[in-house]
């Protein structure tokens, strides 16, 4: 995995220094200098935006510094916060540390101008709100990366840390004195698949050249290959292909995916899932999906799906669209995607990570666990809010995952027409057709009760949707008796009863877990409108409870 990121960094070119970083603040103040026949002079303090004239903010040659420091390592720095116990305010403290960068023979003329105008510059800075702003410099309108001698000193400053010669670079074998974890916070012993042979020994060391390449890769990932994921996590999509020109093209196509509804910096995977899949499915590369969890400055890999092929991604996309169209034909508008699936996993998202990995790596997921999660939400929605939407979504999810061969077990045996033949993945055992049809008939009965008596008394018979084999086999005659009492029997309903009874007979001595039985029954209960487009709701019939 690290090799793939390293290759990603090698494809990136920069018109500025390899060591420059993006400025974290949106606005800054520029100490403007100008060249005259008599040398440099101070012209004033000028506001500036993070991306002046559309340029990258790397034009400022910013580099983050950690801990306490008395000299800036770059010609751009963030203003220090005010401290009550200090005898110097933010403007003075920042300026004095900032000028330390120019204490170099090559930049002596700049240093001299800054020293000569120190008090004036500090006084002018104090007139501005310095919170969340950065300080930089310009010479004749050119920013630090556009002034060769400033770039030279900047790169010398970054590189001047010397190796003790005892540690070798993890990537190239040269002498190393830098840590991989400075770039990737989880690069200690978080995920063995990320860097082979990781352990709880001292952090991985890299050389300056490799660090530069990895920093480029990290910026590309952050700026072009990252998406907001579920539960405030971040998804990285890392392409891999041997030809560098193809790799660059793939990166740019992922970067071009637009989130027109998004308000945050990161694009939303939930909103853009199909757009992303459509792009990836048509590229000549394989992809690693990495889900990152951030906590302050720390990062942790919670999911890493490796070597996902475009063929698999295309299959995921095509099955989703095909199923959505089929359900729409049957009168159900439901989105078949990972966002819909995640709704059933919100309280146990660790299982969602397993399912996500199974979908894209052609793995397997526990069918019994999935049904348990379905019913947990379905029972809450139907019994608490009379909301059947989650049942439709659960049915769609089940069929979708079966078509992707993620849920194992069952052999297609039904050869019926229309609805059952359209979803053989769901009706992969004979008993399921019987229990589903019984749910359809129960739905019809509940409808009759509601329109005739404004009641749903029969729901009490359904035991809070915790049904076993004995329960469902005993329900059919009760449902028939109630429907006849409401004068709801007609030729179509009678035919449906015959089909249900026949299905129970064909199922033979079947067995299934209560959760699976309940899920199939409630699916019929919710999707019953497919079988009853309209009902004659006359007010005749005996009153039932």
Tens-digit pLDDT profile for residues 396-433: 999 999 999 898 654 333 333 467 888 888 988 989 99
Alpha carbon of residue 131 to chain centroid: 32
Q: What is the reported pLDDT for 543? A: 42
Would 185 be classed as within a structural domain? yes
Compute CA 225 distance to the chain's CA centroid, rounded to the nearest angstrom.
Answer: 11
Q: Does residue 441 contact residue 479 with C-beta atoms inside 8 Å? A: yes
Task: Please count the other Cβ atoms lying within 10 Å of the Cβ belonging to residue 129.
Answer: 8
Residue 145 within any structural domain of the chain: yes
Domain contains 109 = yes
Q: Does residue 537 register a pLDDT over 50?
A: no
- Per-residue model confidence as pLDDT tens digits over 424-464: 889 889 899 999 999 999 988 888 888 778 788 888 888 88
Whether residue 415 is found in the same domain as residue 280: no
Does residue 149 sit in the same domain as residue 229? Answer: no
Looking at the fold, whether 302 and 317 belong to one and the same domain comes out as no
- Which burial class, exposed, middle or buried, applies to 87 when counting CB atoms under 10 A from its CB (0-12, 13-18, 19+)? exposed
pLDDT surpassing 60 at residue 189: no
Give the dihedral of Cα atoms 398, 315, 300, 231; nearest 10 deg.
-50
Asked, for residue 17, whether it belongs to a domain, the answer is: no
Class of residue 162 by CB neighbours under 10 A (exposed 0-12, middle 13-18, buried 19+): exposed
| Domain identity same for 201 and 295 | yes
Asked whether residue 18 is domain-assigned, the answer is: no
From 307, 330, 357, the end of a domain falls on 307
User: CB of 223 within 8 A of CB of 256?
Assistant: no
**Phi, psi (5° rounding) for residue 490?**
-145, -175
Report the candidate in 467, 295, 443, 447 with the shortest Cα–Cα distance to residue 379.
467
Q: Tell whether 231 is covered by a domain.
A: yes
**What predicted TM-score, i.e. pTM, was given to this entire model?**
0.59
| Cα(443)–Cα(524) distance, integer angstroms | 8
Average pLDDT over residues 283-294: 89
Q: Domain boundary residue among 254, 278, 307?
A: 307
Q: Tell me the C-alpha distance between 189 and 203, whole Å.
A: 8
- Beta-strand ranges (E) seen in 244-313 are 267-268, 286-295, 298-308
Whether residue 145 is found in the same domain as residue 107: yes
- Domain end among 307, 337, 357: 307
Residues 244 and 144 in one domain: no
Same domain, 191 and 58: no
Residue 387 lies in domain: 313-530
CB 221 within 8 A of CB 5: yes
Residue 539 has pLDDT above 80, yes or no: no
Q: What is the pLDDT of residue 505?
A: 87
Nearest to 443 by CA among 327, 329, 522: 522
Q: What digits encode the pLDDT tens for the residues 140-152?
A: 999 998 898 998 8
Examine the domain organization and report whether 317 and 457 are in the same domain.
yes
Residue written as token pair 């002498």? 175
Number of domains in the chain: 3
Q: What is the C-alpha R_g of the chain?
A: 33
Give the model's pLDDT for residue 85: 64
Residues 270 and 201 both lie in one domain: yes
User: How many Å apart are CA 488 and CA 207, to the nearest integer?
Assistant: 80
Domain assignment of residue 432, yes or no: yes
Answer yes or no: do 345 and 253 share one domain. no
Q: Which candidate, 159, 6, 19, places its Cα nearest to that of 76?
A: 19
Q: What pLDDT digit, counting tens, does each position of 496-509 carry?
A: 888 898 889 888 88
pLDDT of residue 134: 95
282 & 323 share domain: no
The set of residues, in sequence order, having a beta carbon less than 8 Å from that of 299 and lying 6+ positions away, is 184, 185, 186, 292, 293
Q: Is residue 541 part of a domain?
A: no
Q: Which H or E element spans position 234?
A: strand 234-240
Residues 303, 317 within the same domain: no
Spatial CB neighbours of 66, under 8 Å, sequence gap ≥ 6: none
């Amino acid at each position: 995995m690290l090799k793939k990121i390293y290759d990603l960094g090698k494809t990136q070119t920069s018109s500025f220094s390899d060591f420059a970083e993006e400025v974290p603040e949106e606005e800054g103040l520029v100490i403007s200098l100008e060249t005259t026949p008599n040398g440099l002079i101070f012209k004033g303090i000028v506001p500036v935006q993070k991306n002046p004239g559309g340029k990258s903010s790397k034009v400022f040659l910013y580099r983050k510094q950690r801990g306490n420091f008395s000299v800036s390592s770059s010609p751009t720095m963030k203003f220090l916060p005010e401290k009550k116990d200090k005898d110097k305010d933010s403007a003075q403290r920042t300026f004095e540390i900032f000028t330390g960068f120019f204490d170099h023979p090559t930049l002596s003329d700049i240093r001299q101008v800054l020293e000569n105008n120190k008090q004036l510059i500090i006084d002018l800075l104090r007139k501005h709100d310095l919170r969340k702003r950065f300080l930089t410099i310009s010479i004749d309108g050119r920013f630090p990366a556009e002034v060769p001698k400033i770039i030279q000193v900047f790169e010398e400053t970054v590189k001047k840390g010397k190796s003790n010669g005892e540690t070798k670079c993890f990537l190239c074998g040269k002498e190393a004195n830098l840590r991989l974890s400075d770039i990737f916070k989880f690069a200690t012993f978080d995920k063995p698949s990320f860097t082979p042979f990781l352990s709880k020994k001292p952090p991985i060391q890299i050389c300056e050249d490799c660090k530069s390449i990895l920093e480029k890769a990290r910026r590309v990932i952050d700026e072009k290959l990252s998406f907001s994921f579920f539960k405030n996590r971040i998804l990285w999509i890392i392409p891999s292909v041997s030809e560098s020109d193809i790799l660059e093209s793939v990166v740019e196509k992922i970067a071009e995916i637009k989130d027109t509804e998004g308000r945050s910096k990161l694009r939303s995977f939930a909103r853009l899932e199909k757009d992303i899949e459509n792009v990836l499915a048509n590229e000549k590369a394989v992809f690693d999906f990495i889900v990152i969890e951030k906590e302050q400055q720390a990062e942790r890999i919670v999911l890493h799906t490796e070597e996902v092929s475009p063929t698999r991604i295309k299959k995921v996309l095509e099955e989703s669209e095909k199923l959505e169209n089929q359900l729409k034909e049957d009168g159900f508008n439901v989105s078949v995607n990972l966002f819909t699936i995640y709704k059933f996993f919100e309280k146990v998202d660790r299982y969602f990570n397993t399912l996500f990995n199974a979908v894209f790596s052609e793995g397997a997921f526990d069918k019994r666990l999935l049904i348990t999660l379905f019913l947990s939400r379905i029972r809450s929605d139907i019994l608490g809010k009379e909301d059947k939407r989650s049942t439709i979504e659960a049915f769609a999810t089940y069929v979708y995952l079966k078509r992707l061969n993620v849920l194992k077990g069952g052999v297609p045996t039904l050869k019926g027409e229309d609805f059952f033949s359209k979803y053989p993945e769901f009706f992969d055992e004979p008993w399921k057709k019987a229990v589903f049809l019984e749910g359809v008939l129960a739905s019809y009965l509940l409808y009759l009760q509601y329109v005739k008596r404004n009641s749903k008394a029969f729901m009490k018979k359904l035991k809070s949707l915790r049904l076993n084999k004995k329960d469902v086999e005993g329900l059919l005659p009760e449902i028939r008796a109630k429907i006849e009492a409401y004068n709801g029997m007609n030729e179509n309903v009678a035919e449906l009863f015959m089909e249900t009874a026949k299905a129970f007979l064909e199922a033979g001595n079947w067995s299934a877990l209560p959760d699976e039985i309940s899920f199939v029954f409630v699916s019929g209960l919710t999707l019953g409108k497919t079988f009853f487009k309209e009902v004659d709701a006359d007010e005749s019939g005996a009153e039932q409870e």
